[in-house]
Amino acid sequence: MVAGLQQQEVHPNKNIQHSLDLWERVREYDKRSAAGDFMPILTRKQRQKLKLQQVLPKQPTKTRARGDPHSTDQ
């Protein structure tokens, strides 16, 4: 499929061989990414969390009210 892909190990089980080939491609991608500019791909949840961190600076935590401070005891 991909030129330059070196198969170091050939396994008789095609599912295992597919996994080995896939991991080899992942390793090659990691090497190329480390050498160049790498843009991580974030999940939706990670993007939302990052967006909230950028948009909303750390705000004081809300605490539970312990009564009305403006009320007078009679």
DSSP 8-state symbol, 47: H
Q: What residues have CB less than 8 Å from 2, skipping those under 6 apart? A: 25
pLDDT digits (tens, 9 = 90+) for 46-61: 888 888 887 766 666 6
Residues of the chain with pLDDT under 70: 1-9, 56-63, 65-74
Question: Is pTM, for the whole model, over 0.85?
Answer: no
